[in-house]
Structure 1
């Protein structure tokens, strides 16, 4: 028999603030990644991989120091999500949906 447990968390105000800041920075990273990949496709006709966009993270962290507060794996996961979204979009376009 498998059991599952659910736990409700009650973050403090400072924890809630930190989570919101992290979410905002992830949102910024998602939009920036999408913009760069879209511009690369429109201007150069080349598709960037998630690994190529991951290599941009140190540069972004230098320009936007707040990104240093977010774990690098979280930001890499944002690039993974952009990559999956674009692959699904292109699959649907190819299928004529």
Structure 2
């Protein structure tokens, strides 16, 4: 039998701002990765690989002041998740297309 524990966070105002900033930065990075993969396929007919995008995490952190405070592993997970979001757009081996791109939007 599995037990489930539910925890509620009560962040202070500075912590809540930091969480919001982190989520917004991850959302923008996710959408940027999706757009890069989509554009690479639509314009050149090739797929932008996950490993190429993982290599750009360091560059993204250097260029984006909001990303400097986020651990690299978090941004790498975002890249991995974006690969699953774009899989619905690219044709499958049989040539069929799935649903659309699942981009994230701000609340």
Class of the TM-score when normalised by the shorter of the 2 chains: 0.7 to 0.9
* Pairing 1:48–2:57 present: no
TM norm structure 2: 0.76
Larger helix percent? 1
Which residue of 2 is the match for residue 7 of structure 1?
Answer: 7
- Unaligned regions of 5+ residues in structure 1, if any? none
**Secondary structure of the equivalent of 1:65?**
coil
In the TM superposition, what is the alpha-carbon distance from 1:2 to its structure 2 partner? 3.2
Residues paired across the two proteins, number: 96
In the TM superposition, what is the alpha-carbon distance from 1:53 to its structure 2 partner? 0.6
The Cα offsets for residues 32-83 of structure 1, whole Å up to 9 and x where unpaired, read as: 1112112211222110121111111122222212211111111111111110
In the TM superposition, what is the alpha-carbon distance from 1:15 to its structure 2 partner? 0.9
Distance 1:87 1:4 in 2: 32
RMSD: 2.0
Distance 2:82 2:29 in 1: 10
Distance 2:19 2:55 in 1: 25
Distance 1:10 1:19 in 2: 12
- Unaligned regions of 5+ residues in structure 2, if any? 100-107
Distance 1:40 1:95 in 2: 17
The alpha-carbon distance between structure 1 residues 96 and 12, as it changes in their structure 2 partners (threshold 3 A), is closer
